[in-house]
Amino acid sequence: MHGERVLVIDLDPQGNASTALATEHRGDIPDVYQVLIDDLPLAEIVREVPDMPGLYCAPATLNLAGAEIELVSMVAREARLRRALSAFDAEFDYIFIDCPPSLGLLTVNSLVAAEEVLIPIQCEYYALEGLTQLLHNIDLIKAHLNSSLRVSTILLTMYDGRTRLASQVAEEVRTHFGNTVLDTVIPRSVRVSEAPSYGQSVMTYDPGSSGATAYMEAAREIAYRGAAV
């Protein structure tokens, strides 16, 4: 919305990012699966998001669910996405890779291809348990496959100020991770949950809502931090 060119690579077989960005991801359309398995150039699947100039999406279809198994027997299976990105010569200011919620080969491909990790953490206890395992895996990736990888950003989401648990989780995360945690906190918001059913993000669905305002502030923080590096 401020003139930067942004690409979202949907690496989750559920295709939630593709849905929210109104990018077709059903049937036999070219998707990330063909990039990883069949060496299709990334440029051939990238689509501009409707009504959002400068925002692009590389969609995921259900075919991607089988990629975990098919990648096992492939040469350099952990670096398939990194290779595709290195051959992709389009200019973008930001490339976001939306990972599946599991820690399989698709997520490993993301971590090998990326320079930074942004972790959204729900303000609930179970999210802290998952975070421990994720950080362990990131350390393994750094040690063996991508030494330059770093956790640059943690974003607290689904924050409900009425509950003591949310406050405790937020405080614990900030104590442990310090400046890696963004100052901005994303509140629980019905409008954020509703937006994908209309094929939109909350930024276009209800730009005046508390969720949209919070995400805009988080984006600003990320941009300012990046400019300061």
What residues form DSSP beta bridges with 116? 150
How far apart are the C-alpha atoms of 133 and 145, rounded to whole Å? 18
Q: How many CA atoms lie within 13 A of 170 on its CB side?
A: 19
Which residue range forms the structural domain that includes residue 110? 1-114
Asked if the structure places residue 160 within a domain, the reply is no
Asked if the structure places residue 22 within a domain, the reply is yes
How far apart are the C-alpha atoms of 187 and 81, rounded to whole Å? 33
What pTM, to 2 d.p., does this model score? 0.92
**Type of residue at 194:** E
Asked if the structure places residue 35 within a domain, the reply is yes
* Nearest alpha-carbon partner for 105 in 153, 145, 157: 145
Asked if the structure places residue 127 within a domain, the reply is no
Q: What is the pLDDT of residues 105-135, one digit of tens each?
A: 999 999 999 999 999 999 888 888 888 888 9
User: How many domains is the chain built from?
Assistant: 1
Which CATH number is 70's domain given? 3.40.50.300
Asked if the structure places residue 207 within a domain, the reply is no
Residues 6+ apart with CB under 8 A from 86: none
Residues 6+ apart with CB under 8 A from 89: 43
Asked if the structure places residue 75 within a domain, the reply is yes
103 near 137, Cβ under 8 Å? yes
Q: What is the pLDDT of residues 143-178, one digit of tens each?
A: 999 999 999 999 999 998 888 889 999 999 999 999
* Nearest alpha-carbon partner for 12 in 49, 62, 51, 73: 62
Does the structure show a pLDDT above 90 at 229?
no
pLDDT bin (cut points 50, 70, 90) of residue 23 is confident
Asked if the structure places residue 229 within a domain, the reply is no
Asked if the structure places residue 206 within a domain, the reply is no
* Nearest alpha-carbon partner for 185 in 208, 172, 167, 163: 167
Q: What is the pLDDT of residues 212-224, one digit of tens each?
A: 999 999 999 999 9
State the average pLDDT for the chain: 91
